[in-house]
Chains A and B, each alone.
Chain A
Amino acid sequence: MIFFEQVIAILWKDIRYELRSKQMWAGMGLFALLVLVIFNFAFDLRVDNRAAVAPGALWVSFVFASMLGLGRTIAAEREKGSMDRLLLCPVDRKAIYLAKLLGNMLFIGVVEIVALPIFAALFNVPLLLGPLLPIVLLGTLGIAAVGTLFSAMAAATRARELLLPILVFPLIVPIVIAAVRATGTLMVPVSNEPPWLGLMVAFDVIFLSISMLTFQYIVEE
């Protein structure tokens, strides 16, 4: 139980920090919307090609926005030197990882909640929030699970903004494919679709456990 108290304590600290600055939330949300707008021009979305392009546009904007948020959480800790203090606390490294992961998911989640209705309005797609919720949740968890781990890695280098997507994008390919496909199936039902949700669950479980186990090796000095 003490483990979860620690997780919540670190998470609450991060939430308060972000609530006070506010720039990050607004910036990430605006960024996601701008990506959607750019996609609209790039692919000239019309009725006939909407079902094919819209899920991709949605997930690309989510992935890009997540990279912005992921790059910050641990880098901000390192800049101010608070990471060392956090590591000095008698806290399990797994608790730190879990708190950072939950924090990242929360920030990305807020952006997604803002972007989804606007996405539905802009692209005029029937957006059933109910069935879409597990897809967004599982997809975000997968991106954040790998991303949190690698943001700790990239934060230790000079080129963290560049390195984070280079490390994370190849690894989250299965999540991106599964999320785009599953979202597309919601818009235009297709028979004989592979079990995308199952793939996402498997991916999330595997990489959440490995990341929790290996996080200690990355943050140790």
Chain B
Amino acid sequence: MALARQDTNVKRRDASGPGQAERFPIVSMVLLALTFIGMMISIWMIFLYAPTDAIEGDAQRIFYFHLPSAIIGMLSLGIVALGGIVYLWKKDERWDWVARAAAELGTVFLTFALITGSIWGRTTWGTWWTWDARLTTTLILWFIYIGYLMLRSYMGRTPASARAGAVLAIIGLIDVPIIYESVNWWRTLHPQAVLPLGSSPQLPLEMLLTLVVAFITFTLLFSFLMVQLYQLEKMQTLAQQLRASVE
């Protein structure tokens, strides 16, 4: 019976396949073009338009890369959990592809944020790492992402794997604020001169504008990669089902 269901699944996707296959490249092309334009503008704005920070110097420009990738990397866990919840509710495989793609992208963006943040911290704080609440929470979130990807890769492409991933993402999403609060409390006992990570409120207009453009660019890049990864997940699942139906 399981085989029969797989067969119908494969056929159903074949039937709906061509229409989607024609639509998606257009979306991808538009996103790719927008991302490219955004990147060019961002790079120009970050290195030429934005004024050099009086205290931090040129190192401050890392921030335009660091902040958007960190925020998107964190929000990505929300997409993973959302995809997981809808998957558990509707039992629709496509939501699991969304969750999986978002988890992979979230890991990449968060890794980038950790590396750029570390480089920035070295030049500004004089240390690669400090156990500040925000940094620690980001690192633990990164571990949760890695755990998610490891779990999914060990369990393979099965409904059980999708359900386990959904549960992990939901628990992780609820846990992140609690982790932040606990690390924050823990750190308050060790007074250390940690600068607030957020920029000062009186950010010059040019800097704010650059940050907004960089943020939009990173969001476009995320969307573009998301569409690609979703398609990849879809094709991998299809390939596995075809292989299973042959064997």
Interface residues, chain A, CB within 8 Å of chain B? 146, 149-150, 153-154, 156-159, 163, 166-167, 169-171, 173-174, 177-178, 181, 190, 193-194, 196, 199, 202-203, 206-207, 210-211, 214, 217-218, 220-221
A-B contact count (CB 8 A): 90
Contact status A214-B155, CB under 8 Å: no
- By a CB distance below 8 angstroms, the chain A residues around B164 are 153, 156, 217-218
Contact status B160-A221, CB under 8 Å: yes
Contact status B166-A217, CB under 8 Å: yes
- By a CB distance below 8 angstroms, the chain A residues around B71 are none
Contact status A171-B171, CB under 8 Å: yes
Tell me, in angstroms, the Cα distance from A193 to B188 when the chains sit together.
9
Tell me, in angstroms, the Cα distance from A170 to B150 when the chains sit together.
14
Contact status B178-A203, CB under 8 Å: yes
> What is the predominant secondary structure among interface residues of chain B facing chain A?
helix
- By a CB distance below 8 angstroms, the chain A residues around B163 are 217-218, 220
Shortest C-beta distance, B63 to chain A (Å), equals: 26
Contact status B167-A170, CB under 8 Å: no
Contact status B167-A163, CB under 8 Å: no
- By a CB distance below 8 angstroms, the chain A residues around B31 are none
Tell me, in angstroms, the Cα distance from A167 to B151 when the chains sit together.
8
- By a CB distance below 8 angstroms, the chain B residues around A214 are 167, 170-171
Tell me, in angstroms, the Cα distance from A19 to B47 when the chains sit together.
69
Q: A156-B160, A177-B183 known; A217 and B167 CB under 8 Å? A: yes
Contact status A199-B182, CB under 8 Å: yes
A-B contact pairs, 18 of them (CB 8 A): A146-B171, A153-B167, A163-B150, A163-B154, A167-B147, A170-B143, A170-B144, A171-B144, A173-B183, A177-B185, A177-B186, A181-B189, A193-B189, A199-B181, A206-B174, A217-B88, A217-B164, A218-B167
